[in-house]
Amino acid sequence: MTTKEFLINVTQTSGASGFEKTTATAIKKAFEPLCDEVTIDNLGNVIAKKKGKTEKSIMFCAHMDEVGMMVTAVEEDGKIRLSAIGGIDPRAFLYQKATIQGANKLPGFICMTAPQGETLPSTSAPKVEDLYVDTGLSPKRVKELVRPGNIVTTDRTIRDLQGSRITGKALDDRAGVAALYACAQNLGRYDHDHTVYFVASVQEEVGCRGAGVATRAIHPDIGIAVDVGFAKNPDFPTVDVEMGKGPIIAVGPNCNYNLVKKLREVSVKYAIACQTMTLPVPKGTDASVMQIQNDGVFTGVITIPLMYMHTPAETITMSDLEKTGRLLSSLVIDLDGKEFVGY
């Protein structure tokens, strides 16, 4: 399976925060041929272990959960009301095709009530509680099939754009998981000193919960969060990083200085173009909790440039994703026979 095929496969699964089981099953199956052990822990993290020649270990972590919505009520007229799971902008989800996850998958679309014959003023920003799902079914049938607590995700397939750009849902952060998959494929051609743990974590969008549990269990020497980061686009014209110019190495208090230095050395040595992003506040990625587990972990953050985050039209460049996989595997190879000193 190619990296792109893997990405298409996992983005089509439903995996809102706390409800990632279907996504985890697909990821586990894909990593099993590439790793020595693949397990799913009690919280739902997928942990794939590729043994090295020593007990030294490095953990690459990318979250598999996506933002979504949950049914809060079914009204008398059949409208299915919603609340948010994770940070969403309701404008981006309005009039999108959606699937209500339950005993049976129920198709519908997300809409809101506007005054008859009128359009909403351009200054009106809908709230999540203004949205509802219309299934086209009778109110009676809706009440038979839908319950508060059912998960709602958008129904959007991956679409190719110009060049190597692709767009779709859940690229935050299944693009990061795909980079881990690419790394595992690359390392299949090498013997390496460090034992590598590939972690597809759960519940990042609601508090980075899965990464903390996984880090405590693995007790890695080095931990790197692989996520997506804001790329320059019409909404963020002042952002310094751009699509198609390689992965982003973050710099900040969440990122061990010597590990950042090592990643930069590796990018030059193996001719992998990279960009830099400042991360002055240690939040927004799984590294924020990985860093402070056990006796402390030497952490880093690598992100894939992405436009339109937390929308059904998230957009990345496949070349950036593939280079991220190369950067990760090159780091593992370059660490062979060397002792990484964080301080």
pLDDT digits (tens, 9 = 90+) for 71-104: 999 999 999 999 999 998 898 898 999 999 987 8
Mean pLDDT score of the chain:
92
For residue 36, the model assigns a pLDDT of 97
Mean pLDDT of 247-271: 95
Q: Strand (E) positions, the chain?
A: 37-40, 46-50, 57-63, 68-74, 80-85, 97-101, 106-112, 131-134, 151-154, 159-160, 165-168, 195-201, 222-230, 248-251, 275-278, 298-306, 314-317
pLDDT at 125: 77
Amino acid in the structure at residue 111: C
User: Per residue in 152-210, pLDDT tens?
Assistant: 999 888 999 988 999 999 999 999 999 999 999 999 999 899 999 999 999 999 999 99
Is the preceding omega at residue 173 within 30 degrees of 0, hence cis?
yes
- pLDDT score at 233: 80
314 beta partners: 168
Annotated catalytic, 32?
no
Tell me how far apart the alpha carbons of residues 216 and 221 are, in angstroms, rounded to a whole number: 11
CATH number of 68-154: 2.40.30.40
**DSSP type of residue 221:** S
Please determine, for residue 118, whether its predicted confidence score (pLDDT) is greater than 60: no
| pLDDT score, position 150 | 95
Average pLDDT estimate for 287-301: 93
Sketch the domain layout of the chain as residue ranges: 3-66+169-334, 68-154
Looking at residue 119, what is its pLDDT? 59
Residue 340 — pLDDT band, cuts 50, 70, 90? confident
Q: pLDDT per residue over 36-50, tens digit each?
A: 999 999 999 999 999
pLDDT for residue 280: 82
Task: Look at residue 35 in the predicted model and tell me its pLDDT.
Answer: 97
CATH fold of 3-66+169-334 reads Aminopeptidase (3.40.630)
What is the reported pLDDT for 40? 98
Choice between 123 and 42, residue whose per-residue pLDDT is larger: 42
Residue 235 has pLDDT above 80, yes or no: no
How far is 116 from 134, CA to CA, in rounded Å?
17
pTM of the model: 0.93
* Residue 279 pLDDT class (50, 70, 90 cuts): confident
Is it true that 3-66+169-334 and 68-154 share their CATH fold?
A: no
| Average pLDDT for 249-260 | 94
Q: Inform me whether the pLDDT recorded for 55 exceeds 90.
A: no
Name residue, tokens 């007790």: 219
As a whole number of Å, the CA-based R_g of the chain is 21
Per the listing, tokens 């969440």 go with: 254
Buried b / exposed e over 234-267, threshold 16 CB at 10 Å, is eeeeeeebebbbbbbbbbeebbbeebbebbeebb
* C-alpha torsion 321→229→167→165, nearest 10: -50
Of 28-42, 121-135, 244-258, 303-317, where does mean pLDDT reach its minimum?
A: 121-135
Which residues, 6 or more positions from 90, have their beta carbon under 8 angstroms from its beta carbon?
125, 126, 127, 128, 130, 131
Q: Which of 32, 66, 129, 204 is catalytic?
A: 204
Residue 218 has pLDDT above 80, yes or no: yes
Residue 116 predicted with pLDDT over 70:
no
Beta carbons within 8 Å of 136's beta carbon, 6+ residues apart: 108
The pLDDT value recorded for residue 123 is 57
Model confidence at 337: pLDDT above 80:
no
Please determine, for residue 310, whether its predicted confidence score (pLDDT) is greater than 70: yes
What does the block give as tokens for 266? 């590796």
pLDDT at position 204: 94
Range from 104-113, 118-127, 293-302 that averages highest in pLDDT: 293-302
8 Å CB contact between 328 and 179: yes
